[in-house]
Amino acid sequence: MRRITMATRNELLKALRARYQKSNRERKIQILDEFVSLTGYHRKHAVRLLGCRRKTLDLTLKGRRIYDEAVRELLILLWETSDRICSKRLKVIIPTLVSSMERNGHLTLESELRNRVLAVSAATIDRLLAPIRETTVRRRKTRKGAKSHVKKKVKIRTFADWNDPEPGFFEADFVAHCGGSMAGRFIHTFTMTDIATGWTECLPLLTRCQSLVVKALETFQESLPISLIGFDTDNDGAFINNTVIDFCADQGITFTRSRPYRKNDQAWVEQKNGSVVRRLIGYDRHKGPKACQVMARLFHSARLHVNFFQPSFRLLKKVREGAKVRKYYHPPETPCDRILANPHVSQERKQLLLDQRANLDPVLLLKDIREAQGELAQFVDEARRDELQENKNVGAFLSLLARQWKTGEEPRATHLKKKQKKPRKPRESVDAFATVWPDIEQQLNKQPDLNAKELFYGLQAKYPGAFKAGQLRTFQRRVRNWRSKHAEELLRWSLGSANGPGDAIPQTPWDLSHSGIPVESDRINNACSEDRALLGSNPSAEASECTVEG
């Protein structure tokens, strides 16, 4: 067992290593005995520690930077367009989003930038978006039971009884928009999720009523891309009643229910209650026909955005290893893709889906969702009217989409939090580089691959005593901000329709064919070594700025 602290051990090791390596055999044995008795290390491990010669770490980065600010800004735009889904799901839908946005005139990309975005991995997306995702988070939950002897007429089906059914078997549930209080009347969302494909439909109901459940089922039968074969619910009295039972029997629909107080029997729809309904509507209280109409308009756009442009995971298998259970998933796919790949769906229905997807615009759908969320928030709190964006132009909406994360505010009006106190103004300081920065900009315009450290050393040589070594990091940050500014200008030029057609090419020193990405190996090594120098002085600062392969 170790008998001294790690800091003491390091000091002792540093003091004994030099003496140990210069001593003869007898003296080494004595030093080794003392070191083992003090530290409690195994003798072989102690020999390795005392006998090794410390190697200097090579901090030069090997490889090249693949993804720069232009790629990162484009990823932010695609992440916002997909309604902030996770990186593994975003990776799958990027090709569809890019092609759809280009087809609808929202995006114009150079081939080099397009290839880099299509090749980015889910792990790299996580690294690039990590600083942005830190500004968003939230949670909460509710529960409801059931009653009546009528439930004896409905067969119980558990989670393990599905056995990979064909498309058409749906789980259904209610989501109460009660704001934390079940008193009085409020709107319920009737949610249905297909077991095989994950296709999700939502419909707001003014009250939780068995006749409205039947009307909702009739509406779903008309809008669903697949036939309704099975209907599985919890033990809510609005589901388990003679009206719904008779309707299912007349339509030839298999009606089953879960076990009481076993939410996992309805895991498919319970997941969508959180990832779709709560994500869109939030947890506030909503009531009245006007709010119901706005919610219906929101779900009309959301069903297309979720089912056509948001991939989801599907469980492949679970393996128990002792006390742990490991879950394995299929690659993420959209519900639409799963229907197209399923052999039980007819070719006519598949062709209708393909035609429908070809005419959809994900940016326009997301804009409609945001506007409906803003209107819905007004019914909850009149003070939120100022939060609703009055901009009705799709191009302007798209231009703001990639920059929303910088404000740190929730883009969904239904999830807006109260405004916090304004932070204290930072301490003002004199810009030490104000007089020399025009000269630096001229050098960067001529040679944008110049290393910030070399430029700083040049300033010290040109102006002796004017710049101290401690100002290097400030200078490096300023050079990096200059490069980021030109990368943003390049991306804004690429978003042709957002700024209007015929925009002039930005005055940037980088070649458009490279999309702002320097390609010479020595220039990339210099830029990455500069970032590594920054990380060395502050490991948490700008950790996602330098992505390295190899």
Q: What are phi and psi of 321, to 5 degrees?
A: -125, 90
Region for residue 105 given its phi and psi (left: phi exceeds 0; alpha: psi -120 to 50; beta: otherwise): left
d(CA 133, CA 199): 27
Q: Are strands 324-329 and 254-257 parallel, antiparallel or unpaired?
A: unpaired
Pick the CATH number of 149-319+333-358 from 3.40.50.300, 3.30.530.20, 3.30.420.10, 3.30.470.10: 3.30.420.10
Q: Are 107 and 363 in contact (CB under 8 A)?
A: no
pLDDT, residue 497, reads 42
CA dihedral sign of residues 363, 365, 366, 368: positive
Cα–Cα distances in angstroms (integers) from residue 43 to residues 5, 146, 429, in the given order: 18, 68, 56
Q: Are 309 and 202 in contact (CB under 8 A)?
A: no
Q: Which residues pair with 189 in a beta bridge?
A: 175, 204
Residue 305: alpha-carbon gap to chain centroid: 16
What six digits make up the tokens of 431? Answer: 């810009």
pLDDT, residue 99, reads 92
Low-confidence ranges of the chain (pLDDT < 70): 1-3, 53-65, 136-148, 381-392, 407-409, 416-422, 426-428, 488-550
For residue 336, give the nearest of 318, 351, 321, 320 by alpha carbon.
351
Q: Are 182 and 170 in contact (CB under 8 A)?
A: no
> What pLDDT digit, counting tens, does each position of 221-265 carry?
998 999 999 999 998 888 999 999 999 999 999 999 999 888 889
For 117-130, give one letter per residue: b (16+ CB within 10 A) or e: beebeeebbbbbbe
Helix (H, G, I), strand (E, B) or coil at 191: strand
- Residue whose structure tokens are 């209650």: 273
Ranges of each domain in the chain: 6-51, 149-319+333-358, 437-537
d(CA 436, CA 441): 9
Cα–Cα distances in angstroms (integers) from residue 424 to residues 31, 99, 421, 533, in the given order: 57, 44, 9, 30
- Where helices occur in 224-287 by DSSP H, the ranges are 242-251, 267-272, 279-281
d(CA 299, CA 280): 9
What six digits make up the tokens of 364? Answer: 């326009």
What separation, in Å, do the N-terminal and C-terminal C-alpha atoms of the chain show?
A: 39
Please name the residues in contact with 405: beta carbons below 8 A apart, sequence gap of 6 or more. 76, 80, 132, 135, 136
d(CA 307, CA 323): 36
For residue 334, give the nearest of 366, 305, 358 by alpha carbon.
305
Query: What amino acid occupies position 226?
Result: I
pLDDT, residue 382, reads 57
pLDDT, residue 422, reads 67
- Where helices occur in 134-195 by DSSP H, the ranges are none
| pTM for this predicted structure | 0.56
Q: Are 159 and 305 in contact (CB under 8 A)?
A: no
pLDDT, residue 449, reads 74
pLDDT, residue 364, reads 93
Q: Give me the DSSP letters along 372-402.
A: HHHHHHHHH-GGGGGGS-----HHHHHHHHT
Q: Are 287 and 380 in contact (CB under 8 A)?
A: no
Q: For residue 332, count CB atoms less than 10 angstroms from its CB and return exposed for 0-12, middle for 13-18, buried for 19 or more.
A: buried
